[in-house]
């Protein structure tokens, strides 16, 4: 199944969410807003280690139609979650074990009220086309769209960085996923046609243009995954343990030379986890410079090394993802790059593919992946798009 790039789909989402709002609330929405999902070109599991990441916002995201209420009630219609409706009061926010999606709304608004306690309720209709559980950050897109809606409804002074921090806080403290800042910040602050090198410690960032002759080619392995699980949080704990060994606040502060010197004192598994993070930071910075110079050879090598590191040192790939990477790499060689992307344990592979090789890459995936692994791939031809607060 292939999903082409189209501005039309964004327009269709806007039209749909307006209709859904009118059907549910018997009135027109005051506003419609959108926040994109993201793909991480390179730099995985570095964000919560205060490191560097190189994501791009993509033209798949969450669209919300909204209107203010005079009370504290928030009523949310989620079209893509079995058309469920969730209703709660801002002065009585509790975790919902039944409607897990609603916790992203609740956690985000609870965190928002710490900065803006005077907000009131809202009616919301939500739809999105980010594949859930694929590693393209449907949750951050959802959070940033909610924050954009409330910032406009209540004229809040809310920067993109503010919104990113609030979204991250919602996931960490309410939902229970110890994610870093990357997903929310690129959804808020991405620039059209560009990737962003984000310093997750200082929250400073630098944009680099994605060459016009390359496409963001994303393949969902359709191996289902979830971030709110023991494996993701365990990786974070392992990284923190190594940082603590060196007396540092995060692995960002540890050099490869220091790590290698202490190899015999560290458990082998902890050493490997830290080696991935430290070397991945270097690859992300190098990839930014390579993008600026349209140096595909360097980008290709960096993405290949990143995937091998995630496979062997961080151990978050699957045989299906490894298979996809190998298939695509055999076509691209040094003309493009390919690697797993996201938290791992399933989800997506990202490739930077020259336009003249797109049909060949798609053909290789469609002709081989299902035969080998028994799963149908979903292919997304993406463009880098604008963040909600940019």
- Distance (Å, whole) CA 30 – CA 52: 38
Beta-carbon count within 10 A of 341 CB: 29
- Residue 103 phi, psi (nearest 5): -70, -25
Q: Are 87 and 74 in contact (CB under 8 A)?
A: yes
* Residue (of 314, 338, 347) closest to 51 by Cα position: 314
Q: Is 238 left (phi over 0), alpha (psi -120 to 50) or beta?
A: alpha
Rounded Cα distance, 115 and 148, in Å: 15
Residues 6+ apart with CB under 8 A from 43: 51, 52, 53, 54, 55, 182, 280, 281, 283, 284, 287, 306
Report the chain's terminal Cα–Cα distance, integer Å: 32
Q: What is the dihedral of CA 374, 376, 377, 379, to 10 degrees?
A: 170
Q: Do residues 133 and 29 lie in contact, with contact meaning Cβ atoms separated by under 8 Å?
A: no
Classified as helix, coil or strand, 351 is strand
Q: Is residue 162 annotated as a catalytic residue, yes or no?
A: no
Catalytic member of 44, 47, 183, 313 = 183
Q: Return the DSSP state at 336.
A: S
3-state class (DSSP) for residue 256: helix
b (16+ CB within 10 A) / e for 196-217: bbbbbbeeebebbebbeebbbb
Beta strand spans in the chain (E):
2-3, 31-42, 52-68, 73-78, 84-89, 122-128, 194-199, 205-209, 214-220, 337-341, 348-354, 378-382
Residue with tokens 């909600």: 388
Question: Which residues have a catalytic role annotated?
Answer: 183
């Amino acid at each position: 199944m292939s999903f082409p790039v189209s501005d039309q789909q964004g327009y269709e989402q806007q039209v749909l969410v307006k209709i859904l709002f009118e059907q549910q609330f018997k009135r027109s929405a005051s506003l419609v807003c959108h926040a994109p999902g993201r793909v991480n070109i390179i730099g995985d599991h570095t964000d919560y280690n205060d490191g560097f990441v190189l994501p791009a916002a993509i033209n798949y995201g969450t669209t919300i139609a909204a209107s203010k209420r005079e009370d504290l009630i928030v009523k949310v219609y989620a079209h893509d979650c079995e058309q469920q409706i969730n209703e709660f009061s801002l002065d009585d926010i509790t975790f919902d074990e039944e409607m897990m999606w609603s916790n992203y709304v609740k956690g985000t608004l609870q965190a928002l009220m710490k900065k803006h306690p005077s907000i009131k309720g809202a009616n919301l209709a939500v739809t999105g086309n980010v594949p859930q559980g694929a590693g393209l950050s449907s949750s951050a897109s959802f959070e940033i769209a909610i924050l954009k809606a409330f910032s406009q409804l209540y004229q809040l002074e809310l920067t993109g960085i503010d919104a990113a921090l609030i979204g991250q806080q919602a996931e960490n403290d309410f939902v229970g996923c110890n994610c870093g800042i990357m997903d929310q910040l690129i959804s808020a602050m991405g620039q059209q046609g560009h990737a962003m090198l984000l310093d997750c410690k200082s929250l400073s960032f630098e944009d680099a243009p994605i060459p016009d002759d390359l496409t963001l080619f994303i393949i969902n392995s359709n191996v289902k995954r979830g971030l709110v699980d023991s494996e993701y949080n365990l990786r974070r704990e392992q990284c923190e343990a190594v940082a603590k060994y060196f007396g540092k606040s995060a692995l960002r502060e540890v050099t490869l030379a220091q790590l290698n010197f202490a190899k015999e004192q560290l458990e082998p598994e902890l050493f490997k986890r830290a080696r991935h993070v430290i070397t991945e930071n270097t690859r992300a910075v190098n990839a930014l410079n390579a993008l600026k110079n349209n140096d595909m050879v360097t980008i290709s090598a960096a993405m290949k090394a990143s995937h091998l590191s995630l496979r062997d040192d961080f151990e978050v790939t699957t045989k299906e993802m490894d298979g996809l990477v190998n298939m695509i790499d055999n076509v691209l060689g040094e003309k493009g790059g390919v690697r797993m992307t996201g938290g791992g344990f399933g989800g997506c592979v990202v490739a930077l593919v020259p336009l003249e090789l797109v049909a060949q890459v798609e053909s290789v995936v469609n002709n081989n992946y299902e035969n080998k692994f028994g799963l149908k791939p979903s292919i997304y031809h993406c463009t880098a798009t604008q963040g909600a607060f940019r």
